[in-house]
Amino acid sequence: MIKAIKGTRDILPPASAVWNRVEAVAREVFRTFNYHEIRTPIFEETSLFARGVGEDTDIVGKEMYTWEDRDGTSITLRPENTASVMRAYIEHRLDQIPGVKKFYYIGPMFRRERPQKGRYRQFFQIGAEAIGSDSPIVDAEVIEMVVEILKGCGLKPVPEKDGFHLIINSVGCPKCRPEFMNALREKLATLAPQMCADCQRRAVTNPLRVLDCKVPEDQVHIDTLPSILDHLCEECHGHFKIVQSHLHGRGIAYEVRPRLVRGLDYYMRTTFEITHGALGAQNSVLGGGRYDGLAESLDSKVPAPGIGFSIGEDRLVLSVEAMSASEESNTVDVYLAPMGDAADALAGTLAAELRSAGISVERSVDRKLKRALEVANKMGARFALILGDNEIAAGTYLLKDMAAGEQESLTRDQLIARIRKNS
RNA sequence: GCGGCUGUAGCUCAGCUGGUAGUAGCGCCAGAUUGUGAUUCUGGAUGUCAUGGGUUCAAAUCCCAUCAGCCGCCCCA
């Protein structure tokens, strides 16, 4: 049997309805913030991601789907979408659009990682980018927007149990971060030998990751490490304070966590992340941050400061499902049960009429009424519409309310009104 | 890429220390006379016991490998 390849999966009904709902909520929130959809190709030249995301990141080093095209070009399935959006921005001179340029996207990304719950090789992201301003007010608004999406999906903004938790930080800029990194390395040189094996390795390969260590014994040491917030330059410090004051102004709860580090090279200043309790080890639903230097690293002649986020849609759907165990199962309004040739002929036009009135209809192809009602019941249809020789002779329609078990004989004119009445 | 656990009907599983699968539950299909579902009764279908090797007279059951899923690590949404 041919099966879906490792790390990919089919999204079947009724779960697909949750996906649609989540996407509909996101699109509506984007609309109210005046973000517009951008669709970029699913694969790009490898160098785009290598330069955008960072040569030394794990994503580029070992997690991309890359192959050589027939003409020798190295092609990669997009592992994330920010670099592509920025490429499109530069290529089409979108900087010419007045004001802050606001885009959103929904689509699949690809990463060759070991699959587990909430982590797939083809995964979906809902994301947005605001390009063209380095104002901290934009940062706050982007965060506000993402919080609105989660709330719209039914998640609660409280850290406990089924709520979500917003964490923010500033990772500084090319001016002040090197200073912090030096301080961190210096301290780690003496401290690392007392820490776990992973940290000893990280101290050399990726010092920022030490801050994220989860080993309990290491926490005392981590607490003595320098904080990025103490090393921010004046501009970065001011930027971060304004972001926070605007979040306060919008009544958005958050936690400042200096240890929040991001894996992608292009982030600077504001970074943020939201976690959700229902997710286990992969508890991060979304992440984002500012990337003021990205455009230049992609050869843009004009600066294009920006900030964006991406929601792990697979994980958001998991959270939403965990919240609302039994969502209202969307089912057909009317299950049409024709009996006999005359009824079969009439059923087609009747179904079409109901559908054009916005009523969902499925017609039975089973001649037995008993069977038709059985199926209607199992599908959870709201009504069964019985149509046989008796009805045709009398010019009436027998409408049965499946939940109540009652049925009434109606004229064609009464039908639609009656079906709509208790919807 | 690394480590741990798991893999029996569509789903949830039983199958003890090897003798070649279960009247199991749910679901599905059919019937209990001719146009009425949800309860009930009766009957039925479905598995190369994940795949490939090995040990054995004999393996779903032991061993190895592969694949897939889950959990964790790395990293990250």
- Which pLDDT does position A325 carry in this prediction? 53
A206/B1 CA-to-C1' distance in Å: 18
A29/B15 CA-to-C1' distance in Å: 54
Task: Check if residue A339 sits with its Cβ under 7 angstroms from strand B.
Answer: yes
A50/B75 CA-to-C1' distance in Å: 16
- Closest C-alpha among A88, A103, A105, A152 to residue A298: A88
- Fold of the domain spanning A15-176+232-323: BirA Bifunctional Protein; domain 2 (3.30.930)
- Which pLDDT does position A369 carry in this prediction? 93
Say which range, A67-76, A218-227, A243-252, A259-268, has the weakest mean pLDDT: A259-268
A198/B13 CA-to-C1' distance in Å: 41
pLDDT 10s digits, A26-56: 999 999 999 999 999 999 999 999 888 777 7
Question: Is the CB of residue A261 less than 8 Å from the CB of residue A268?
Answer: no
- Closest C-alpha among A165, A161, A100, A152 to residue A126: A152
Closest C1' nucleotide to A390's CA: B35
A229/B26 CA-to-C1' distance in Å: 57
Q: Above 90 in pLDDT, residue A108?
A: yes
Closest C1' nucleotide to A281's CA: B72
pLDDT 10s digits, A355-383: 999 999 999 988 899 999 999 999 889 99
Q: Look up tokens 């994220």; give the residue.
A: A212
A369/B37 CA-to-C1' distance in Å: 9
Between the CA of residue A57 and those of A50, A64, A264, A365, what are the distances in Å?
Answer: 9, 11, 7, 57
A161/B13 CA-to-C1' distance in Å: 31
For helices A341-356 and A412-421, angle between their N-to-C axes, nearest 10 degrees: 50
Q: pLDDT category, A178, cuts 50, 70, 90?
A: confident
Closest C1' nucleotide to A371's CA: B37
Which amino acid is present at A177? Answer: R
Q: Above 60 in pLDDT, residue A328?
A: no
- Which pLDDT does position A300 carry in this prediction? 92
Task: Check if residue A11 sits with its Cβ under 7 angstroms from strand B.
Answer: no
Closest C1' nucleotide to A119's CA: B77
Nearest protein residue to B30's C1' (by CA)?
A: A371
Question: Is the CB of residue A382 less than 8 Å from the CB of residue A359?
Answer: no
Strand B near-CB residues (< 7 Å), A 218-257: none
- Closest C-alpha among A357, A415, A355 to residue A386: A415
Q: pLDDT category, A422, cuts 50, 70, 90?
A: low
Q: Look up tokens 């230049």; give the residue.
A: A296
Closest C1' nucleotide to A286's CA: B77
Strand B near-CB residues (< 7 Å), A 82-121: 111, 113-120
Closest C1' nucleotide to A116's CA: B70
Comparison of pLDDT for A260 and A205, the residue scoring more:
A260
- Which pLDDT does position A367 carry in this prediction? 83
Closest C1' nucleotide to A388's CA: B35
Q: What is the CA radius of gyration of chain A?
A: 28
Strand B near-CB residues (< 7 Å), A 132-171: none
Protein-contacted positions of strand B (CB under 7 Å): 1-3, 27-31, 35-38, 67-77
A166/B56 CA-to-C1' distance in Å: 61
Residues A23-59 as b/e (b if ≥16 CB within 10 A, e otherwise) read: bebbeebbeebebeebebeebbebebbbbbbbeebeb
Strand B near-CB residues (< 7 Å), A 164-223: 198, 202, 205-206, 209, 212-214
A401/B41 CA-to-C1' distance in Å: 27
The DSSP output letter for A227 is P
Task: Check if residue A364 sits with its Cβ under 7 angstroms from strand B.
Answer: no
H/E run at residue A311: strand A306-312
List chain A domain ranges: 15-176+232-323, 334-421
CA dihedral over A59, A64, A68, A71, signed as positive or negative: negative
Cis peptide before A108 (omega within 30 of 0): no
Please count the other Cβ atoms lying within 10 Å of the Cβ belonging to residue A181.
Answer: 16
Q: pLDDT category, A266, cuts 50, 70, 90?
A: confident
Closest C1' nucleotide to A370's CA: B36
- CATH classification for the domain delimited by A334-421, as one of 3.40.1390.10, 3.40.50.800, 3.40.50.300, 1.10.3720.10: 3.40.50.800
Classify residue A154 as left (phi > 0), alpha (psi -120 to 50) or beta: left
Distance, in Å, from the CA atom of A126 to the CA atom of A130, rounded to the nearest integer, reads 14
Q: What is the maximum span of chain A, computed from C-alpha positions, in angstroms?
A: 95
A375/B45 CA-to-C1' distance in Å: 19
Nearest protein residue to B2's C1' (by CA)?
A: A114
